[in-house]
Structure 1
Amino acid sequence: MNKKISLLILCIFTIFISCTSTKSVANKTETPKLEKSLLWKITGNGIEKPSYLYGTIHLTCDYVFTDKLKKAFDETDQLALEIDMSNPNLQAEMMKFIFMEDGKTIQSILSEEDYTSLSTFFKQQVGMDLKLFNTMKPLAITSTLTSKMANCETGTAYDMEFMKVAKAQKEKVIGLETIADQMKVFDNIPYEDQLKTLVKMAKEGMDESKKSFEEMTRYYNAEDLEGLLKVTADQGLEADFQENLVDQRNRNWIPLIEKIAKETPTFIGVGALHLPGEQGVINLLRKQGFTVEAVY
């Protein structure tokens, strides 16, 4: 496998997770509306020093390391992300999970017409032959196409920028889950369903995807989590996918966040759509007795 493809695969877990997490369904239980902020201070419930929670977007043209971000990093001693991006074995671990099993291929799953549509679209967007990805899980294709939605030559991932800050401050980096955890989530979604979404994108054209991405980015830049949740609701996943991709992961993180926050003041960065809602991280932490306040 050439270096270019390997680098693209490295982007999968910093881009695609957030993009799928933006698909939401309506909450059955009303929760208090959140103030407009991406940064939240966690105190109470046995915490001696505050930790901070930040909603990231994994692809942006508008990254700014604000004063409130700097202050939060200065007040914390370690960085927690969805996965530990500092792991030197990260690429090797990713490669263990990126290929489909049982001899399945993209071409064998799709009809000839749909494969041709996706192949042509993929070549137009990224300049690569879809055959290079034929044995890979649809996630690899989705992530590569997602990177083309930003209207700038080089998008920035908040996760990677936060890693630079942590390294400069000689702070430990930890993950809330492993590569295996994340891949298990996506493997619960049939490849056929994942590919249907890709074919739909190919037939509609990249302009439609860019419009959705731009609208989502406007709400994100306004630090409006409620607005972001609302604007992405009409792109909703099936309820069981929402449960697997977002809600269950949020619940899995809470005991770990509670543990690390009580042990060490921590800056926690996760995809922004993991924060709001009844099953969002903010509400779940509050249910555990923590005070979670917006930082302006």
Structure 2
Amino acid sequence: MKHLFLLTSLLLTALLGGGCASTPTPAKTYTPVDTGHAFLWEVKDGHGRGGTAYVVGSIHMGREGELTLPPAMETAFAKSDALVVEVDVGKVDANSMAKLVMELGRLPEGQRLSQRLDPETVTLLSRAADRMGLQLDGLESLRPWLAGMVLSVTELQRAGYQQGHGVDRAFLGRARDAGKAILELETAEGQVRMLAGTPDKLQDLMLRDQLRRTQEAGAVLEQLVAAWKAGDADGMASLILQGANDATYRPVYERIFFERNAQMATSVDALLAQPRTHFVVVGAGHVVGPQGLVALLQKQGHSVRQLPRTPAAE
């Protein structure tokens, strides 16, 4: 594997937050429901502390010009004192992170990926490598979590998707230009260590969940983009979290989404204790569903509403 390619895979770990790497194809073709809303929620502190948070569900990769930001997001960002993201990629030291990925993502000398996987996963992995024109031998030295990332990024890049055109990257650029503070809910190192620290059997299951898709990752991401543009939170949840209803794959979603959602909700609640306005951008998969960030903040007693794409005149 080329050094730079592995680094790119690392920095795209947040794709898991958007569901792009682990979402099987829905049984039926998804048709977006245009709600008239942005993928944006206004959260008002419900405990008299005075804080406000605007929560955006992000698509982490996009094609150039595809993810046009609706006026409501631009307005909410302008009102905000600080930007809050999963990871500020601008702070990541590329060399250190590449070294960490190689340290945590490679198998011990003499071990092979296919020897550590369930036979069903091996079959799916071989088919995926053939479909993408990759040599399976090139993945054999990698642990399952990194092999999955390499496959996902390869598919998405070939479909024309780039991280630089994602929603969170757009707001990171705007925040730096405007001199706004940038806060992190997680770190790149923390995300990598979370994946690397996943038990072997669960890593196998994560990879199998990803590989059992019948559509390529680019086609799945097109559906996610359509849901994002339509403000269709229910549709987004059905696309990203479908596998959570399967008892076999439920532990994957607990690890990648629900445990982290609870941690994010605790962090956002602490921000709401401040009489300031924070603009929070996290992967769309963390925002939606009954265990998503929006639902958790409501359960904490905060006032939450999804905003229309065009803000009302003040």
Give TM-score scaled by structure 1 length. Answer: 0.78
The one of 229, 236, 240 equivalent to 1:228 is: 236
1:70 aligns with 2:74: yes
Give, as a single letter, the amino acid of the residue that structure 1 aligns with 2:232. D
Aligned CA-pair RMSD: 3.4
**Unmatched segments (≥5 aa) in structure 2:** 25-34, 309-314
Query: Residues 92, 144 of structure 1: CA spacing in aligned structure 2 closer, same or farther, 3 A cutoff?
Result: same
Cα pair 2:38 2:229 within 8 Å, conserved: no
Matches within 5 A, 1:43-122: 43-44=44-45, 45-61=47-63, 62-89=66-93, 92-93=96-97, 95-97=99-101, 98-100=104-106, 102-103=108-109, 104-110=111-117, 118=125, 121-122=128-129
Contact 2:7 2:97 (8 Å CA) reproduced:
no
Structure 1 residue 176, shift from structure 2 partner: 0.9
Matches of 1:41 and 1:132, distance apart in 2: 46
**In the alignment, is residue 285 of structure 1 matched against residue 287 of structure 2?**
no
Q: Which runs of 5+ in 1 are unaligned?
A: 25-33
When normalised by structure 2's length, the TM-score is 0.74
Number of residue pairs aligned between Structure 1 and Structure 2:
282
The Cα of 1:175 is off from its aligned counterpart by 1.5
Residues 7 and 98, structure 2, Cα contact 8 Å, conserved in 1: no
Report the Cα offset of residue 55 of structure 1. 0.4
Name the CA distance, whole Å, in 1 between partners of 2:263 and 2:121.
Answer: 37
SS of equivalent to 2:12: helix
Q: CA deviation at 1:63?
A: 1.2
Structure 1 residues 95, 291: closer, same or farther in 2, change over 3 A?
farther
Aligned pair in 2 of structure 1 residues 169, 91: CA closer, same or farther (>3 Å)?
Answer: farther
Sequence identity percentage: 20
Q: Shift of the alpha carbon at 1:170?
A: 1.4
Q: CA deviation at 1:19?
A: 1.9
Q: 1:114 to 1:13 in 2, by over 3 A?
A: closer
Distance (Å, rounded) in 1 between the aligned partners of 2:72 and 2:251: 36
**What is the CA–CA distance in structure 2 between the aligned matches of 1:121 and 1:60, rounded to whole Å?**
22
CA deviation after TM superposition for structure 1 residue 53, in Å:
0.5
Matched residue SS, 1:13: coil
Seen in structure 2, the aligned counterparts of structure 1 residues 14 and 92 have a Cα distance that, compared at 3 Å, is same
- 1:160 Cα deviation from its structure 2 partner: 1.6
Report Cα offsets for 1:198-221 as digits up to 9, x if no partner.
Answer: 6545xx5xx454443333332222
Say if 2:260 is the partner of 1:243: no
Between the aligned partners of 2:170 and 2:39, the Cα distance in structure 1 is: 16
Matching of residue 267 in structure 1 with residue 274 in structure 2: no
> After superposition, what is the alpha-carbon deviation per residue over 1:121-149, rounded to whole angstroms, capped at 9, x for unaligned?
43763x66554444333333323332324
* Paired residues of 1:94 and 1:179 also in contact (CA < 8 A): no
Residue type matched to 1:96 in 2? L
Q: Does structure 2 conserve the Cα–Cα contact (< 8 Å) formed by 1:12 and 1:140?
A: no
- Alignment match, 2:42: 41
